[in-house]
DNA sequence: CTCCTGTGTTTTGTATTCAGAATTCATAGT
DNA sequence: ACTATGAATTCTGAATACAAAACACAGGAG
């Protein structure tokens, strides 16, 4: 197999995003570059490069002379991000081949029905949810749009761990996914896009109470 | 006045984007970091930081060991970017206060009618067009969305100079802007969004012939 | 006691250096 | 003549070094 030869900055970026998923970092706290670099076993240079990319994705903020910090979470920002992703995924569906959508619809339906039990680990549920959405937009021929969706979703990762230990109404989420899949199977793209948007809005509202008021 | 104290990487980024507007760089060519750093009078470190952000915005590409190069232009990518911006600006309008939109509509109309003469310099026209779109979405309360639009539009700058010395049918562009403004004044948001999207699609097609076939 | 100021420390922003990968060019072998 | 091999060169990726800005704290003036 070809060995992993990605630039260090990318590996660092992923490591940081992973830690963010696990809630290792408190939002709003400053980053000490030397300390973090030492902890990761790299020098400041590729670390800073990773931090700059993450800042570009909105995961971090930076101020002149004061370095980087994890962007504080807020209901406003969460709402904004969800609106954006909902819109982008809608666009992605619009830019997809209808025939392909009908083709994958059964699989989407199956996945939605097999939604992991509420007993499952939080990250299992998230993984499953991600896979569903990834499959949903996989037919989009606008590659830049797909990249953009990935990038914006990175900004949402900061909110993922806030769900930990929750028994959110998963049935509802599953039901909404089913509805999207069924509409796609029926070939009603416009309605499917609408249902998808509803799914995001509902998920957003379910989450909202867990975000500390800014 | 408070003097400009932005990080060097941002200034470099803007300088590079400016040069891109002027068509100083041939698309697809590799960047020599030492040469470019020397030319800009900075060291490689902040230059690389700027290059990394630009790569994140899709303006540049990078490959391990081979550094950065200006992403080649292609009709496919141009189409994709236009679709995305059109969608995003539509979202921005949806997320705007209808009252505010009605309020700025007259100004939008005035600007559209005062569209610079075809004699005007290319960059004057572009500036004017940018201002019109900026005002259009200025009422959007989703700040992240506005940032995202700016970022995606940066990727479109690589295509701007291809228009140079063209007498594209500006009247048509102006007429489309007028139509959007009029619909906003009438309070018909849905139709305005549609007209805006048409504007992007038309502008895209006008441009298409000037992009070399990949 | 409070606020200002100045000094020392920490941390970032930028420059420079070092190591290794990619490219080029020349040469030897088929 | 063409290909393959290898050394020399160029350039990137990463580490280190340096300069300056921000921060913290102590001491003194009001």
pLDDT tens, residue by residue, B95-111: 999 999 999 999 999 99
Shortest alpha-carbon distance between residue A120 and chain B (Å): 33
Shortest alpha-carbon distance between residue B91 and chain A (Å): 7
Name the nucleotide nearest B47; use CA and C1'. C14
3-state helix, strand, coil in chain A (%, to 5): 65, 5, 30
Interchain pair A56, B57: CB under 8 A: yes
Q: Which residues pair with A68 in a beta bridge?
A: A62
Shortest alpha-carbon distance between residue B163 and chain A (Å): 22
User: Cα–Cα distance between B93 and B90 in angstroms, integer?
Assistant: 5
CB-CB: which of B64, B81, B87 is closest to A5? B64
Give the best residue of A63, A65, A83, A149 to mutate against chain B (max B CB count within 10 A): A83
A75: pLDDT strictly greater than 70: yes
Rg for chain B, CA atoms, rounded? 19
CB-CB: which of B6, B52, B91 is closest to A53? B52
A70: pLDDT strictly greater than 80: yes
Interchain pair B52, A52: CB under 8 A: yes
Q: What does the pLDDT read at residue B119? A: 72
Interchain pair A53, B56: CB under 8 A: yes
Low-confidence ranges of chain B (pLDDT < 50): none
Q: Which residues lie closer than 8 Å to A53 by C-beta, 6 or more apart?
A: A9, A13, B52, B53, B56
Of residues A97 and B116, the one with the higher pLDDT is A97
Report which DSSP code applies to A165.
T
CB-CB: which of B52, B88, B95 is closest to A49? B52
Interchain pair B144, A80: CB under 8 A: yes
Distance in Å, residue B62 CA to nucleotide D2 C1': 34
pLDDT digits (tens, 9 = 90+) for B25-40: 999 999 999 999 999 9
Interchain pair A83, B64: CB under 8 A: no
How many interface pairs between A and B have CB atoms less than 8 angstroms apart? Answer: 73
**Residues close to nucleic acid strand C (C-beta < 7 A):** A 5, 30-34, 44-45, 48, 62-68; B 7-9, 42-46, 49, 64-66
- The string over B160-192, giving b where at least 16 C-beta atoms fall within 10 Å of a residue's C-beta and e elsewhere, is bbebeeeeeebeebbebbbbbbbbbbeeebeeb
A162: pLDDT strictly greater than 90: no
pLDDT digits (tens, 9 = 90+) for A125-148: 888 999 999 999 999 999 999 999
Q: Which residues pair with B196 in a beta bridge?
A: none
Q: At what angle do helices A75-94 and A122-136 cross, to 10 degrees?
A: 40
């Amino acid at each position: 197999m070809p060995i992993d030869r990605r630039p260090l900055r990318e590996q660092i970026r992923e490591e940081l995003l992973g830690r963010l998923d696990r809630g290792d970092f408190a939002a709003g706290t400053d980053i000490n570059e030397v300390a973090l670099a030492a902890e990761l076993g790299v020098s400041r240079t590729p670390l800073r490069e990773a931090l700059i990319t993450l800042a570009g994705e909105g995961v971090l903020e930076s101020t002149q002379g004061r370095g980087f910090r994890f962007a504080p979470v807020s209901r406003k920002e969460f709402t904004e991000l969800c609106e954006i992703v909902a819109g982008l995924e809608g666009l992605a569906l619009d830019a997809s081949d209808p025939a392909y959508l009908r083709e994958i619809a059964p699989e989407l339906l199956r996945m939605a029905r097999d939604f992991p039990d509420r007993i499952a680990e939080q990250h299992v549920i998230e993984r499953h949810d991600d896979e569903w959405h990834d499959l949903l937009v996989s037919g989009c021929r606008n590659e830049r749009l797909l990249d953009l969706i990935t990038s914006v979703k990175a900004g949402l990762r900061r909110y993922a761990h806030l769900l930990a230990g929750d028994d959110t109404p998963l049935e509802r989420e599953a039901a909404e996914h089913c509805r999207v899949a069924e509409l796609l199977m029926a070939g009603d793209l416009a309605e499917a896009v609408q249902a998808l948007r509803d799914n995001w809005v509902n998920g957003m509202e379910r989450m909202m109470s867990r975000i500390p008021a800014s």
